[in-house]
Structure formats: structure tokens, C-alpha cells
Amino acid sequence: MADIAVTEVSKGLRDAIARLETGENMESTGVVTRVGDGVAWVHGLRNAGYAEVLEIQTKQGVVEAFALNLMEDEIGAVLLGSDKDVVAGDPVKLKGVVLEVPVGPELLGRVVNPLGQPLDGGPAITTKENGLVERPAIGVMGRKGVHEPLMTGIVAIDAMFPIGRGQRELIIGDRQTGKTAITLDTMINQGRQKTGVVNIYVAIGQKLSKVARLVERLKQEGVMEQTIVVATGPSDPASLLYLAPYAGAAMGEWFRDNAKHALIIYDDLTKHAVAYRQMSLLLRRPPGREAFPGDVFYLHSRLLERAAKLSDELGAGSLTALPIIETQAGDISAYIPTNVISITDGQIFMETDLFYQGIRPAISAGLSVSRVGGDAQTKSVKSVSGRLKLGLSQFRELAAFAQFGSDLDDATKKQIERGQRLTELLKQPQYSPLSIWEQVASIFAVNEGHFDNVPREKIKDAQAALLAKLAKEHRKEMDALNTGSEKIEADSATGKLLAKVAVAAAKGFEQ
């Protein structure tokens, strides 16, 4: 072999490299070195990208995985299926894509897993488009302020903590306090009020019996045609639980980006964080507080940032997110709750004590807040809710004195009684969301004192009578009120009409 002059080293090296780099069409492969707990370690595949899909060729067929740990000489990949068929020595190929799910209107009415495969026994889903599971959120210029209401149909929320389209409102509380019930009512309301908002319910590690019940209810209510359910159960691998909310977000983004409105419910992000902790620990990433990995904040912030109200240039679509967090013994200062509280635009806090006192939905008026929804409230609801909030907060201050009963002056007694009536009014049975005019009329009647002579336990009956009378005799006016554009005052025409009917309705229940 010839020698090369030192002055020609550069050219010599370049030629040698050129001779070696001819294998353009060669497919790179790796090999599984270890596998267990849903994680496979792969040697080779140096050109694998982050979150790229790998295909492991097992004797029983192909098992997919996605690469999450890219190290110098090894890849840590999380399996998307069962690890029981994967053995050390199995060859691994790159699929050449990052994770995608089918998106589009074809998914409506279906129950799918986070990979977009049907779980409802229906036919295979073929969509025109696919959406990236991990996708950066829209930038500043693509957004617009939240200004349209997303009516939940729950008086306490729509009046006191209004939610706007494009908002992220956290629902937080202990187990069995009615968190899912609120989101279910909100979904049902979208169907009843014909808002056209698409519902996406993401069940993360929820009991499949619960999901089945929920789907059944949605079908009964006729809302399933505008709903997509992304379901994962407790027995699914952690990788699927981890992917579920991102897959749901990708499906929601399709509606957002096509000038439609969508509502996405993540039930719940506590289990999501736990699934991610499991994956991270198995991938040998260093544990931090409560053994969660260092990027658990980013895990949720990048997810919730994808909920947005788009600017007019982008079609003015929206994706509203209602994440759910389950607390332990009402502790909202734990790691994951504080993280998600700081990411979202407000929270609805559910209290166990209220729930068992019979105040359902058990929304804590003191700890709940909506930071951007005020702009999104309809005019008519806003005009009656100001006094509702004031009345309730005065009542809370005075409630402690209520036990002294007769020692109080008349004005204080009146405020306490008004507060008790308002609290009574805000109780609402499940599956019965109220439309705008129903909410406005109910709050107006109590606020203006028309129900002051109705005993507390009969407030709900008086409300029902009022609404029935209004629906029967004043349908036209109520349809107009339902648009929400009118400001209701005691001396306006609508105000006078509502007062007249309220007084008449209260008659039958006065003591």
C-alpha cells in the first residue's frame, strides 16, 4: 500500500472516508440486550431519534417500542405492547417515524386506545390524517385571548368560576368527591345545548368498568356522536398511560386547527405522573422529589400548553382542557397538585366535607378560582353572578355567627338566610346541566329576594316550579334570554317578567 505525504493527509483521509461511505441503502439494525418491566435495552441503531418508533422482530411478530433514552452505546426503549414475547437477541429496526395517531372526524363516537386502535368492537378506524403525539404548542402570535364561554351547565361553575374556550381549568379534589361527575355533566351539556363543542375524554389508568359506565351514559344522553374516548386501564403498560393524554391532545388539535371547538378532559393527571415515574425509574433516570423524575413539570406543562384559543388568522378554533388531579386528604400542596395548579388558568376545588353535607357539586367557593374566564362569561350570567358571589362571600364570613341565632341583628340574619338559600340553589343533581336562561332565572329569583319566604328545604322545588312556568308560558322570551347577550336588571323588561313569575312560583311554597 502506498504511503501518503504528510502534506496530503487531508486529501488522503477524505478519499478513504469517501470509499467507506457507500452503504447508503443499508438499513441499520440493532439488537435487544435486556428486556423487562416493559422496557427494552437495545444495542446499535445509532441514528435513532428521540421518541422514534422501533420495531422489535420477535418470534411471535413485531412489537413496537419508542426510544426514550438515547445513550452512547445503548437505547432505552419503552414497549408499546406486552414484553412477554420480546427476548434478548431479537433484532430491532427503525420504523422511521415518530409516534403518530389517526386524527379527524372519523374518530367521533369511538372508544380508542392511545395508538388510535378501536376498543369498542367497532370497525377499524381509517382517517385521512395523522397527528403527531408530541407536538410543540402554538406560539404567541397564533393565539388570542379567551373570550367565548364554555358552558358547563353547572350553576356554581358558570356563575362563579366561568370557563372560557381555550382555557385550562383544573378540577382537583380527593377521591369520591365528584370530579369526574363535573366533567361528565359538562360533556352532556355540550350535547343538550347544541354548542357543537367536541368532547374528548382521556381515561388514564381508570377502571375500565368506570369508563364503560361513562360511555353508556354518554350514549343514553346522545352525546357520544360528538365524543371521542381515549381509554387506558390499570392493566395497560405504563407507556400507554403515558401516551394517552398526548394522543388525546393530538386528536383535539385537529378540531382546534380546523376552526372547530373541542373540550378535552384528562382523567387524571396524578395517575399520568405515576406512570411516567414508573417509566423513568425503569429507564434509570435519577429520581427527585417523591421519586418523580426531574422533568415531571415539563411533562404536564407541554401537554396543557397545547390547549389554546387560536387567532382569527388561524381560524379561531379552540381546545379547552379540564385536567383532573386527585389529592390525598385534601392536600393541595403536594408535588403534582402544586405543579398543575401553577400551570393551569385556575382550579375548581372539590371538598369531601361539603360532599358529605349534601352540598353537591361539592365545590369549595373559597379555594376555587378562574383566572381568565371572567371575559368569557355571557352578559346575562355576569349581570346576575356579581351579586351571587358577593352574597356568598358575605355569608361565609357571617356563617360562623349563625349558631348564635337570635343574638344577631336583622340585617345580619337576612344575609345569613340569603346565603343559605344561595347555597341551596347551587346544589344540583348529576346529569342535569342547566341552560343559560335557567341559570339566570334561578339566580335572579334568589338574589332579588323573591324566594325569601320559601323555606330552605323547598328552594329546589320552588326553582323547579319557576323554570317549568317560564318554559311553558314564556318560551319566546326565554329563548331570547338563552343567547346570553342581554344584561338582566330588576327594572328591565326581562327582569320584571322574571320577578313576576318568581313571585307567583314562590306562592305555593311559602310558609
Partner 1 sequence: MNGKLSRRKLAQYVASRVQGGHVPEAVLQEVAAYLVESRRVREMPLLVRAIEDALLEHGVVVATVTSARPLDDTLREAVKAQAGGAEVHLREIIDSSVLGGVRLQTPDALFDGTVQHKLQALRAAKV
Residue numbers at the binding site for partner 1 (CB under 8 A): 1-7, 9-10, 12-14, 16-17, 19-21, 46, 72-73
Q: Which one, 5 or 411, has the nearer CB to partner 1?
A: 5
DSSP states of 378-401 as a string? -HHHHHHHHHHHHHHHHHHHHHGG
Q: HSE (CB half, 13 Å, CA atoms) of 62?
A: 9
CB 264 within 8 A of CB 235: no
Q: Which one, 11 or 379, has the nearer CB to partner 1?
A: 11
CB 280 within 8 A of CB 221: no
Cα separations in angstroms, 365 against 338, 389, 484: 19, 9, 24
> Helix/strand/coil (H, E, C) string of 57-99?
EECCEEEEEEEEEECCCCEEEEECCCCCCCCCCCEEEEEEEEC
Strands (DSSP E) along 204-308, which ranges? 227-231, 261-267
Based on its alpha-carbon atoms, the radius of gyration of the chain, rounded to whole angstroms, reads 28
**90 φ/ψ angles, rounded to the nearest 5 degrees:** -65, 135
Residue 265: strand pairing partners: 201, 322
Residue type, 335: Y
Q: Which one, 13 or 468, has the nearer CB to partner 1?
A: 13
Catalytic residue among 135, 143, 302, 371: 371
Q: Which one, 13 or 259, has the nearer CB to partner 1?
A: 13
CB 171 within 8 A of CB 189: no
Q: Which one, 29 or 420, has the nearer CB to partner 1?
A: 29
Separation of alpha carbons 341 and 345, rounded Å: 8
Separation of alpha carbons 132 and 257, rounded Å: 13
Q: Which one, 46 or 487, has the nearer CB to partner 1?
A: 46
- The grid coordinates listed for 304 are 396543557
Q: Which one, 21 or 491, has the nearer CB to partner 1?
A: 21
Q: Which one, 21 or 457, has the nearer CB to partner 1?
A: 21
User: Would residue 371 show up in a list of annotated catalytic residues for this protein?
Assistant: yes
**94 φ/ψ angles, rounded to the nearest 5 degrees:** -85, 135
Separation of alpha carbons 55 and 27, rounded Å: 13
- The grid coordinates listed for 391 are 352574597
Q: HSE (CB half, 13 Å, CA atoms) of 330?
A: 10
Distance linking the first and last C-alpha atoms of the chain:
113
Cis peptide bond N-terminal to 361, omega within 30: yes
**334 φ/ψ angles, rounded to the nearest 5 degrees:** -70, 175
Q: Which residues contact 205 (CB under 8 A, 6 or more apart)?
A: 232, 233, 234, 236, 241, 271, 272, 274, 275
Beta-strand relationship, 369-370 and 29-36: unpaired
Q: Residue 11 CB, nearest distance to partner 1 (Å)?
A: 9
Q: Which one, 8 or 129, has the nearer CB to partner 1?
A: 8
Cα separations in angstroms, 248 against 176, 255, 428: 24, 11, 29
Q: Residue 74 CB, nearest distance to partner 1 (Å)?
A: 11
Catalytic residue IDs: 371
